[in-house]
Chain A
Amino acid sequence: MRPALELFWKAMMARTYPRVAWMFRHRTWLIQETLLPMLSVIALANVYRWMHAPVQYIGIVILGAAMTAFWLNVLWSLGAHLYWERDSGNLELYILCPAPMMGILAGMALGGLTMTIVRAAAIVTTGVLLFDVPLEPTSWWLLGLIFLLTMVSLYGLGMMFASVFLLFGREAWHTVNLLQEPIYLMTGMNFPLVALEKMTHWAIPAAALLIPLTAGMDAMRQVLFRSEGFLNLWYEVPLLGVMSVGFILLAKRFLDVLERKAKEEGKLTVKWQ
């Protein structure tokens, strides 16, 4: 068991490395990943301010922008990543090697997460300083737990997407685009999720809760700003726990399907076939 875990760890850290190296070698990303997203945050925050909305609404926008960064990372850098790896010829080498593919995917997730945490932290810090949003969570521990569960379930979903996109999509970016815009609305990126229930039907936000970003943001907003949530916090936390385990298990299952189909059909892993 120990050698298997050791190989998993080595593979994960090795695959994390290119993303971390990229962060240090392309420093301009800090501008595009922090300053540019702040423009829409500033615009929306000012809209709420002119409407004399409670200051928590500005906090909701800032948190939404920070958390959406993780969603974009999951879609573009993790979900579509096996697709890019296939095109560059690396996927074949990963399947050929003795390291488990889950270790490679975990490395991709960890690399993406490291970079996005910097972006999210920059957005939160700038937003809080610019708009003087009070940060008084009911419990820092609870907030940390919700954030952790949201990340595990969100990146678990991303790891599952990675195989699903390669299995069913020949043009990964179309699928990514399809998932990007509606999610901004369904997750309540710039407004409380209860507002979506009032605007449409309870079934829409209820369905959206199956996206970890929705449940995570709604729960974090309740802890951070004591705002009204769509679902009670004590339902959302276990839901995130279940999704964390579920999506990781599903990711493993889809990876197995991917490898089996790749072998049977003679494509998916090899770019020219």
Chain B
Amino acid sequence: MSELALRTDALGRTYRKARKRWWKRTDPAASKEFVALDGVSLEVKPGELFGLLGPNGAGKTTLIKILTTLLAPSSGRAWVDGLDVVADAKALRPFINMVSGGESSGYGILSVRENLWLFSRIYGVANAVINQRIDAMLAVVDLADKANSRVSHLSTGQRQKMNFCRGFITDPKVLFLDEPTLGLDVTAARNIRKFVKEWIAEKPGRTMLLTTHYMAEADELCDRLAIIDKGKLLACDTPANLKRQVQQHSIFELSHTPGSGGLIEVAGLPGVHQATTTETPTSIELKVLLREESAIGGVVQQVVQSGGRILTLKKVEPTLEDVFIELVGHGLNA
């Protein structure tokens, strides 16, 4: 077991409605039980950058909370660095850290440097190394000029960068990043992705579990990925292998104007395996997975006959999004 950085065995988590108390009004609309995780078994090797993909409410954050000892599983077991997350929680905590996207932690009255100092000290990091690490991390996220600014004066993105630094300054063995680039600008997100890859490579044995909504980010960063929906693990493999699963289909992207009757239905056409439509202010973007390439003729004909005008048509390579749609049945934002 110790050769694995993370392991879960039939991990489950059910949220139960709170017991009725005489002094508290309970919400009659709240359901009695909600299964957030359902028998998830995973194995992550040391040195891996492992990704979790899933729509909102899929169970990603619940899984991270269990692995970071913040939440107890309802069934199954989990180990991080060979330590049981329930029985050995105290022994495990010095070796892990977590950063959640959009979190607002920290003290507004303190500066960025002071906040990072505070959250390093509760991990026992010596004063002699804290400032060195803070300077290095602030340079990574381009926040060095704000080191002495009060956190209450920072923008949401800058605060997010500070929290990103907080996760790394304690030099964890296993790091959990829950949507780390959420709300960051393109350049900052790119710098963070670059740093994450360097950080993993820098010291053997460092492991990272990352959840993200950005498919391209997952594709670029992760050695392996798990796709999770409604608490169940649907697939787990390298991005390349996952994409190979949908390579049996030809994928076309077609941009067209709306038809006379609004959206044009093509999913039921012969040879069409799957179709997803995205509306933009100026056009409709249609992505079709075809069992046979020749079926594209029928799709084009259907669009034209429905009053739509084709703007662009191209054949594309499968992406993680296609894998996701194939497994979950809809896109991340659907």
Contact = CB atoms under 8 A, between A and B. Distances in A.
B234 interface: no
A18 interface: yes
A243 to B, nearest CB: 27
B318 to A, nearest CB: 35
B105 to A, nearest CB: 4
Given A6-B124, A263-B69, 14 more contacts: A7-B124, A10-B124, A18-B109, A21-B109, A21-B114, A26-B109, A90-B106, A95-B70, A96-B70, A96-B93, A98-B94, A263-B70, A264-B72, A266-B62
Interface in A220-273: 262-266, 269-270
Contact of B118 (A14, A95, A262, A263): A14
B107 interface: yes
B105 A88 contact: yes
B42 to A, nearest CB: 20
B164 interface: no
B121 A98 contact: no
A96 B172 CA distance: 12
B119 interface: yes
Contacts of A48: none
A119 interface: no
A99 B118 contact: no
A93 B107 contact: no
Contacts of B97: 96
Interface residues of A, number: 35
Given A18-B107, A93-B119, A96-B98, A269 B124 contact: no
B94 A89 contact: no
24 contacts: A7-B124, A10-B124, A11-B122, A14-B121, A17-B114, A18-B107, A18-B110, A26-B109, A88-B104, A88-B105, A90-B105, A92-B70, A93-B105, A93-B119, A93-B122, A96-B93, A96-B98, A97-B93, A98-B123, A103-B122, A263-B69, A266-B13, A266-B62, A266-B65
A18 B110 CA distance: 7
Interface string B67-104: 01111100000000000000000100110111000011
A66 B41 CA distance: 59
Given A22-B109, A89-B105, A263-B71, A94 B122 contact: yes
B129 interface: no
Interface in A86-117: 88-90, 92-99, 103-104
A10 B70 contact: no
The 3 residue pairs across chains A and B that have the minimum distance between CB atoms: A14-B121, A89-B105, A263-B72
Interface string B1-32: 00000000000010110100000100000000
Contacts of B252: none
Which of A17, A26, A266 has the most CB atoms of chain B within a 10 A radius of its CB? Answer: A266
